């Protein structure tokens, strides 16, 4: 969904362990990746993963969005994996910073899905939504059944 460019600026907001940042940095070694994360344990995971995978094109911003986004270089692509309830403000800052590009937001809650759709529309992005469902086998009695996990909504905003 991100259609990563070979060069540019990529923001990974709510970077967690840095898996999206690491993958982006390895696929596109000339892109500048900015991983934004507030949790100290996860920041340490990003640092360790950055060293393990030798991804020198990742910068780490320790802080909480939206405040941590202020003053960052204008992004070409943004991935939002966390928002801590500040999605409207986060998208508003991205809207001001991004002249053209793509935002991808993963959401597990309907509230997050609705907030993302509404704010992306207000900000003038074209919207595309996918929903991914995964089931795992589970033994019940003498048989195997599929047990559904919560679906994930993937919201893409582009302009």
Could you list the beta-strand ranges (E) of 7-91: 8-13, 31-37, 58-62, 77-80
Can you give the length of the chain in residues? 159
pLDDT at 84: 61
pLDDT at 81: 85
40-91 pLDDT, tens digit per residue, is 999 999 999 999 999 999 999 999 999 999 999 999 999 998 656 789 999 9
pTM (2 decimals)?
0.91
- Which DSSP letter does residue 69 get? G
Q: Which residues touch 91 (CB under 8 Å, ≥6 apart)?
A: 103, 116, 119, 120, 123, 157
């Amino acid at each position: 969904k991100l259609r990563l460019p070979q060069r540019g600026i990529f923001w990974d907001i709510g970077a967690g362990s840095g898996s999206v940042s690491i993958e982006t940095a390895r696929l596109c070694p000339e892109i500048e990746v900015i991983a934004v994360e507030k949790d100290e344990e996860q920041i340490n995971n990003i640092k360790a993963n950055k060293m393990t995978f030798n991804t020198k094109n990742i910068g780490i911003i320790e802080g909480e969005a939206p405040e941590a986004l202020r003053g960052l270089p204008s992004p070409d692509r943004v991935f939002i994996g966390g928002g801590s309830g500040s999605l409207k403000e986060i998208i508003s800052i991205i809207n001001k910073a991004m002249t053209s590009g793509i935002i991808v937001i993963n959401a597990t809650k309907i509230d997050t899905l609705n907030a993302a759709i509404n704010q992306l529309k207000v900000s003038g992005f074209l919207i595309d939504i996918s929903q991914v469902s995964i089931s795992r086998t589970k033994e019940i009695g003498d048989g195997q059944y599929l047990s559904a996990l919560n679906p994930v909504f993937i919201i893409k905003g582009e302009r």
